[in-house]
Amino acid sequence: MTKKRKAELALFATTFIWGGTFVIVKIGFESVSPFLFVALRFTIGSLFFALIFFRRLLTISRSALWKGTMLGLLLGVGLVLQTEGLQFTTASNSGFITGMMVVFTPLAQLFIERRLPKLGNVLGVVIVTFGLYLLTSPTAAGFNFGDLLTLIAAFLFGIYIVYLDIYTKEEETFSIVLIQTVCTALVGWSLVPFETPRIIFNMHVLGILFYTGILATVVTTYTQTRFQKDTTPTRAAIIFTLEPVLSAILAYIVLNEILGVSGIIGGALIVAGILISELSDSWLARRSLSRSQREWKFGITEEE
């Protein structure tokens, strides 16, 4: 298995974990306020990372500190906006709008790295975007405040994915992971005074904090930081669009949010778009090789 394929399978795995967070967080709002939730989630993640890698805390460089802080701010502000927006919109719509990072990522890559995405990736983006729209079947109620907050979050996530691709090729994985997790926790704590903090400690809340703090923060943040550099930002963003597929299915099962026929078609289009993006490179490579072989044979015939 190639390094690129291994990395993309790892990113697929993180997407499955993220898919459950929309429904879990939506339910969690009954017991904990949004900013406090983000603060606690990433504090748990930070402490977990620090306990595991405490011997390497003193090896963090200044450049890693700066780059990790920038990533943490992008991730932290994005997650706060996404979490706050989820109070005013459905889990399905939140998943769809967050998935729009698949559109923002190649745009960010174009302006930040001056690098154009490949044709197969662009086609995959178009198909996935339309599939996302059908999947969540947004109502005619209009674009509300929660949708706006989530859209801004998706924009920040697109920029985050591009800079993560750049910085993880320059710095050691652990340093970037720990710093951005700590920074995200600090963003959450800095905003807690601007809400009415509330939390009801019970097994339900502890389960939510474990899932989001360990699985959806420690495991996924490390995995994304470790493996995303082995693929392209656009391909990573397209893989992440499986997240709203899973969130929409769970929202249907747990919260009775209707998926419908259009949602099923949308999910199929998302899978198709991902396959096109994933297989386009190898298909073009085989086509190029086949063409080169034909030209080589033609040349031999001419000489004979």
Query: How many domains, in total, are found in the chain?
Result: 1
Q: What SS3 state is found at 144?
A: coil
123 belongs to a structural domain: yes
pLDDT of 269:
79
- Give the domain extent around 129: 3-279
The mean pLDDT value of the chain amounts to 77
What is the predicted pLDDT for the residue at 212? Answer: 84
Domain annotation covers residue 299: no
Is residue 60 included in any domain, yes or no?
Answer: yes
Q: What type of residue sits at position 66?
A: W
**Number of Cβ within a 10 Å radius of residue 69:** 16
Residue 194: phi, psi to the nearest 5?
A: -90, 5
- pLDDT at residue 304, as a whole number: 38
Mean pLDDT confidence for 227-233: 80
**190, part of any domain:** yes
**Position 269 in a domain:** yes
pLDDT category of residue 69 using cuts at 50, 70 and 90: very high
Please tell me the predicted confidence (pLDDT) of residue 146. 81
pTM, two decimal places: 0.71
Inside any domain, residue 179? yes
Yes or no: say if 19 and 243 are a contact pair by the CB < 8 Å rule.
yes
Question: Do residues 229 and 169 lie in contact, with contact meaning Cβ atoms separated by under 8 Å?
Answer: yes
Q: Residue 294 domain-assigned?
A: no
Contact between 183 and 73 (Cβ < 8 Å): yes
Render pLDDT for 149-207 as a digit per residue (tens, 0 to 9).
888 998 899 899 889 888 888 887 778 888 888 999 999 999 999 888 888 877 778 88
Give domain status of residue 205, yes or no: yes
CA dihedral 166, 211, 7, 246 (to 10 degrees): -110
